[in-house]
Amino acid sequence: MTKRFALGIFDDEDVLLHAIENIRAAGVKIHDVFSPYPVHGIDDALGIERSRLPIAAFFFGLTGLSFALWMQIYMLGFDWPMIIGGKPHIALPAFIPVSFEMTVLFCAHGMVITFFTISKLYPRWKVPVMDVRATDDKFVMAIELKDDASELSRLTQLLRENGASEVNEKEMTQK
């Protein structure tokens, strides 16, 4: 499916943040904003909710900890108990290092895999982008064009008024 977008190109993050606010206040829905670096305050301006990844990270860590404890207690305490250095079979203090490492391992990798999955990041040969300068020095605001040609000229004026240095039209094929 092909969609058309109006792209407002901004040079400065402060101008961009003002523009986001004014354009949203004018009742225009912003499709997305692409920037070369994380702009602080953009989440609030765009109304992006706080990520719940930290909660996921906590539960991944908890899974790692439980798995490590189960593994060590089962293997040395039940499956094949041996006396090592006169210690009890289930020598919990000696299990702390491995439990800690497994907590970190599960937490880090679980969270990163979740991040890649929900952000749809995976290796691919071609990456269609709105504007190649968005990864260099420009801030690109994309607004989806739904109806006639007058919409583009209206948006162009709105974007220009709010400090966009140029406004372009772009067609994107989306799956």
With beta carbons less than 8 A apart as the criterion, state whether 30 and 46 touch.
yes
Tokens of 59: 């539960």
- 120 near other proteins, judged by CB under 8 A: yes
Tokens of 113: 């895999």
DSSP letters, 127-166, are ---S-GGGGTT-EEEEEEE-S-HHHHHHHHHHHHHTT-SE
Q: Which of 26, 32, 70, 153 binds other proteins (CB under 8 A)?
A: 32
Nearer to other proteins, 54 or 147 (CB): 54
CA distance 171 to 168: 10
| Residues in 68-97 at the binding interface with other proteins, rule: CB under 8 A | 71-72, 75-76, 79-80, 82, 84-85, 87, 91, 94-95, 97
Task: Considering only the stretches 1-9, 145-153, 161-169, report the one whose residues sit in contact with other proteins under the rule CB under 8 A.
Answer: 161-169
- 172 near other proteins, judged by CB under 8 A: no
Nearer to other proteins, 105 or 148 (CB): 105
Q: Which of 59, 137, 153, 169 binds other proteins (CB under 8 A)?
A: 137
With beta carbons less than 8 A apart as the criterion, state whether 139 and 39 touch.
yes
At 155, the amino acid letter reads L
Nearer to other proteins, 96 or 169 (CB): 96
Task: Considering only the stretches 1-9, 119-127, 144-152, report the one whose residues sit in contact with other proteins under the rule CB under 8 A.
Answer: 119-127
Nearer to other proteins, 80 or 149 (CB): 80
Q: Which of 7, 19, 23, 145 binds other proteins (CB under 8 A)?
A: 19
- 3 near other proteins, judged by CB under 8 A: no
Tokens of 94: 């000696």
With beta carbons less than 8 A apart as the criterion, state whether 94 and 73 touch.
no
Q: Is 106 exposed, middle or buried (0-12, 13-18, 19+ CB in 10 A)?
A: buried
Nearer to other proteins, 33 or 155 (CB): 33
Please name the residue that has the structure tokens 């906590």.
Answer: 58
